Amino acid sequence: MSEEIVIGKGLSLKETYEELLPQVEALLESSEPVISNLSNFVAAIFNTFEKISWAGFYLEKGGNLFLGPFQGNTACTVIKIGEGVCGTAAAEKETVIVENVAEFPGHIYCDANTKSEIVIPVVYGNELFGVLDLDSYEYSAFNKTDAEYLERLVNILTKKVNLNKQKLV
C-alpha cells in the first residue's frame, strides 16, 4: 500500500477532508505499533493543510498529558489535565476550538507565534487516551467543519488501532 497522501488542488475545506479521510483509513495499520500509526496520522494531517503550524498528540498518564508524536517545532512536554486548551479538552472530553489563543484563559504558549488552535480528545473505550492538538499562525484557522472531520479522523484511528498506552508513556 502507498504511504503517500495525495490531495487535489483548489478544493474546498470539506472536499479536502473528504479526500483525506479514506487515505488516512488506508494508511493506518492495525497490526503495526501504536507509535507508527500516530506518527503517520499527524503527518498526513499536518502536510494536508498549509494553515497548520503544528500538529501532534499529547498522551494521558496519571493526570498529565505528555508530548507524543508530532510535526512542527519543539513543544511543551507536560500539560496538566484541566490546564491550557489541551488540558481543558482532555478534562471535558470535548473538542475545543480557540479562535484567538490570547483570549483563552490559561492558554499555554509553546510557540509565541500561535494565533489559533483546535484540540480533539482521543477516547479509547471509556478511557482518555490523549488529545490531538493542531495550531495555526492564523487567527480563526479552525471552524466547525474542521471539528467535525477531525473527530471523524480520530474516530477512524480509535476504531482501527488498538490504542494501548502502556509502552508509550
Which residues lie near ligand SME (CB under 6 A)? 54, 75-76, 79, 84-87, 107-108, 110, 114, 117, 133, 135
Please say which residue, 17 or 66, places its beta carbon nearer to ligand SME: 66
| Residues ≥6 apart with Cβ < 8 Å to 155 | none
Three-state DSSP state, 82: coil
Q: Which is nearer to ligand SME, 117 or 123 (CB)?
A: 117
Least distance between ligand SME and beta carbon 71 (Å): 11
Give whichever of 48 and 116 is closer to ligand SME, judged by the CB atom: 116
Tell me whether residue 107 or residue 152 sits nearer to ligand SME (CB atom).
Answer: 107
Its sign, for the CA torsion 6, 141, 152, 67, is positive
Q: Which residue is nearest to ligand SME (CB)?
A: 84
Q: How far is the CB of 110 from ligand SME (least distance, A)?
A: 4
* Complex with ligand SME: residue 110 or 141, whichever CB lies closer: 110
Least CB distance to ligand SME at residue 133 (A): 5
How many other β-carbons are positioned within 10 Å of the β-carbon of residue 137? 14
Q: How far is the CB of 30 from ligand SME (least distance, A)?
A: 28
How many other C-beta atoms are found inside a 10 Å radius of the C-beta of residue 125? 8
Q: Where are the alpha helices (DSSP H) in the chain?
A: 13-27, 34-48, 84-92, 144-160
Is the distance from CB of 57 to CB of 76 less than 8 angstroms? Answer: no
Q: Could you give the CA distance from residue 30 to residue 34 in angstroms, rounded to a whole number? A: 8
Closest contact distance (angstroms) between CB of 111 and ligand SME is 7
